[in-house]
Amino acid sequence: MALPGVLHVITIATFDNQALAHIAKGRLEAEGIPAEIADDHLIQTDWLYGVALGGIKVQVPEAHAARAHSILEQDYSGELHPEPEEGPAHPEEPRPLDPAAMESQTPSDPRADVGKWAALVHLAAFAGLFVPLGNLLGTLFAWLGRRGVAPEVDREGREAVNFQISITLYALAALAMASPSVAYPVILGLFFLDTILVLYAALRAHRHQPFRYPLTIRLLT
């Protein structure tokens, strides 16, 4: 929702964490700067799409951009966008970063990053919508690239790869053993089953809840 009476707003910071975005918004409003949150609904409904769009955005009127940037710079310097070249008529001088304040800054929860990568290895199966065998290759590459992040990511990746191997084998068997009138409905059913289970597995992985796919040939243990 746009700020009332404001013709132009700019993004001054982006966050992966919804709570941090709202804390930053509240801090700006406490200083008398109107602020709004953009794209937070994408993180809630589709985490992968939200990340592709750049995360949750904190936006302010252009006239307040320099002051807002200065206020957030000390605590959220990593999430801030560069200041616009043309600031308001009376910009405040940016405050230098305080090393002591940076050391006392609350670090992000490492489990949140683990949950994101664990969910991503499941969601990588949707590469099959664009590339033949992408469901298997996308999951395999995501697992091989991120299995060293944490044992949880490695475990979820193995389970995801095993399931995509199984789905691929079932589809190939249907093509080889049945007529097209039988094979195509079977493959369509496998596609819908794959989609539903991948989304459910990604949701559970993001919440750090283990998930085991049904009908899975577990070649990787």
* Residue whose entry in the numeric block shows the structure tokens 């936006």: 59
Rounded distance between C-alpha atoms, residue 186 and residue 180, angstroms: 10
- pLDDT of 56 strictly over 70: yes
From 48, 73, 104, the end of a domain falls on: 104
Lowest mean pLDDT among 55-64, 120-129, 173-182: 55-64
Question: Are the C-beta atoms of 123 and 202 separated by less than 8 Å?
Answer: yes
- Nearest residue to 65 (alpha-carbon basis) of 37, 86, 36: 86
CB 163 within 8 A of CB 196: no
Domain that holds residue 174: 110-206
- Could you give phi then psi for residue 186, rounded to 5 degrees? -65, -45
Do residues 70 and 95 make contact, with C-beta atoms less than 8 angstroms apart?
A: yes
Using DSSP, state whether 179 is helix, strand or coil: coil
Boundary residue ending a domain (83, 104, 125): 104
Q: How many domains does the chain have?
A: 2
d(CA 158, CA 152): 10
DSSP category for residue 4:
T
Judge whether residue 105 has pLDDT over 60.
no
pLDDT in tens, 158-187: 999 999 999 999 999 999 998 999 999 999
Helix (H) or strand (E) holding 37: strand 36-38
Residue pair 212/159 in contact by the 8 Å Cβ criterion: yes
User: At which of 104, 133, 158 does a domain end?
Assistant: 104
Let me know whether 114 and 98 are in one domain.
Answer: no
Do 85 and 117 reside in the same domain of the chain? Answer: no
pLDDT in tens, 25-45: 888 888 888 888 877 665 555
Q: Quick count: other Cβ atoms within 10 Å of Cβ 66?
A: 21
| Whether 137 contacts 144, CB under 8 Å | no
- Average confidence score pLDDT of the chain: 81
Segment 125-134 mean pLDDT: 94
Beta strands 9-15 and 36-38, pairing class: unpaired
Structural domain includes residue 213: no
Tell me: do 94 and 119 sit in the same domain: no
Rg (CA), the chain: 23
